[in-house]
Each structure stands twice: as C-alpha cells, then as structure tokens.
Structure 1
Amino acid sequence: MGASLWIVWAVIGIIGGFMVGRLVPGVRSVFLSVCVGIAGAVLGGWLFVLLCGVSERMESLSLAVSAVVCAIFLWAFSCITGKDNTGEC
C-alpha cells in the first residue's frame, strides 16, 4: 500500500466534502465539510485495507468503500449541523 492510495482517498474526501458543502443547503461551512469528507474517506479506505488485506483488487475496492464511508460521514455531518436544527435528516 503506497502513499498514492492515501492521496486518492483524500481526493475522494475533498471532492465529496466540497460537493456537500456547496450543494446541500443546510451545511454552514465548506471547509468543515471537506475536513469531514477527508476523514471519512481516509478512515473508510484504511480500515477496509486493514481488515481485508493488501492486493490490487482490494485496493481498488477500497476506493469504493472510501466513497461510501465519506458519504455516510457527510450525511451525518449535514444532519448534525443543519441550519434549522430540527433534528430531521
């Protein structure tokens, strides 16, 4: 597992966080959504590789897992930090 895989996970998080920060009306800060996206993507990809092993196929699957975990983190972030604070997601 090389450094390039970590960079790709981070880029997935940056893209996801930026899209949520700009497109979801309840999110207050693009910077925070990008940080949450990076954390979710890197954590998801790293845990997947840690649990399933390192091979070319598993590294490719880790990119999809990274995107899914990033989306879950960002969904939770948007629910927690919504502008209306009604608690509804």
Structure 2
Amino acid sequence: METEVKLEINNDKGLFYIEIDNKIEAKMTFVFAGSDKIIIDHTEVNKAYNGKGLGKKMVQKAVEFAREKKLKIIPLCPFAKRVFDKTPEFKDVL
C-alpha cells in the first residue's frame, strides 16, 4: 500500500493528504498564522484505515515541512496534539 503524504497549499491554508487507489483516505488541514507558524486544526482518516499510522505519517510530514521552512507548529487538533505529546523528537517545532 503506497502511503506517500502529499502537500497542497492555497494562500494561507494547507492540506497534507494521503491518496490510496486515487482516493483521498487521510487528510490533515492547517492554516498559516503569520509568517512563522502553522496551526494544525483537523486530522481525518477514513475508518477503513484507522490504526494504520496514516495520521502520524501526516504529522511527521508536517514536522519535516516546518523544519524545512523554519516554522513552528501549533497543534490545535486533538489527534495532532497527542502525537506531539508522545513524540519528544518533534518538540523542536512547537
């Protein structure tokens, strides 16, 4: 199962998503907060893929994006917040 996380940015909003068989099965939305922060506000995974790590994969991609662009992340989404709480190596982008 190919689970590459893709990124789409439209003005001040963004979307990390995973397509499986040409259908978006997981997505995580964010908004830019000024020039140096993004706010992750929602994560959603199709029930058929619950527990397969797709949500965490998207958070990891967001962390890579933040590091690359020198951004900080505010995880308002409860799922993303839990991933950050359980993953100390992501703390540098908080």
Structure showing the higher helix proportion among its residues: 1
Question: TM-score when scaled to structure 2?
Answer: 0.31
When you count strand as a share of all residues, which structure comes out higher? 2
When Rg is computed on C-alpha atoms for both structures, the one with the higher figure is 1
